Amino acid sequence: MLIRPVKPWEKCTMTAASPAVPAVLQALGKSFHPNCFRCVICNETLEGQQFSVDTQNKIYCVKDYHRFLAQTCAICEQLILPNKGSNEIVRVMSMGKSYHMACYEGKSNI
Ligand SMILES: [Zn+2]
Ligand SMILES: [Zn+2]
């Protein structure tokens, strides 16, 4: 994500209006008003924040992304969240279900 001075022909992806602000934010290869770049769930502005996008290019804060889109492990029934200090979710997909790596490996030893 990058914030830089706006060019006159650029339009905000959210409002389709020409930016009235002196800077646009660039993310996902698109331009946004910094004010329009918000989480679709909690409506927090994500300027300068970490964010995630789903397959429909909806924008989420990291917290809501994990809350709404995280898969539940089919063994321990806990959400599968990224390891501490990482944004990458490690999970095993098998037969249409998701598992924690550790749970899955435990199961495969039975
Ligand atoms: Zn949010
Ligand atoms: Zn698990």
Residue 86, domain member (yes or no)? yes
Residue 78, domain member (yes or no)? yes
Give pLDDT, residue 52.
Answer: 84
Contacts for 17 with CB less than 8 Å, ≥ 6 apart: 11, 33
Residue 61, domain member (yes or no)? no
22 alpha carbon – ligand 1 mean position (Å):
25
* 67-79 average pLDDT score: 85
Residue 40, domain member (yes or no)? no
Residue 29, domain member (yes or no)? no
Q: Is this model's pTM higher than 0.75 or not? A: no
Residue 59, domain member (yes or no)? no
**Residue with the two structure tokens 């539940």:** 72
68 alpha carbon – ligand 1 mean position (Å):
10
Which ligand is located closest to the Cα atom of residue 102? Answer: 2
Give the CA angle between residues 18, 61, 100 to the nearest 5°. 145
* 10-25 average pLDDT score: 65
Alpha-carbon span 49 to 34, nearest angstrom: 11
2 pLDDT band (50/70/90 cuts)?
Answer: low
Residue 18, domain member (yes or no)? no
Which ligand is located closest to the Cα atom of residue 51? Answer: 1
Looking at the structure of the chain, the number of domains it has is 1
Residue 17, domain member (yes or no)? no
Higher-confidence residue of 100 and 108: namely 100
Alpha-carbon span 16 to 95, nearest angstrom: 42
Q: What percent of the chain has pLDDT over 90?
A: 14
83 alpha carbon – ligand 1 mean position (Å):
20
Domain that holds residue 92: 71-110
107 alpha carbon – ligand 2 mean position (Å):
10
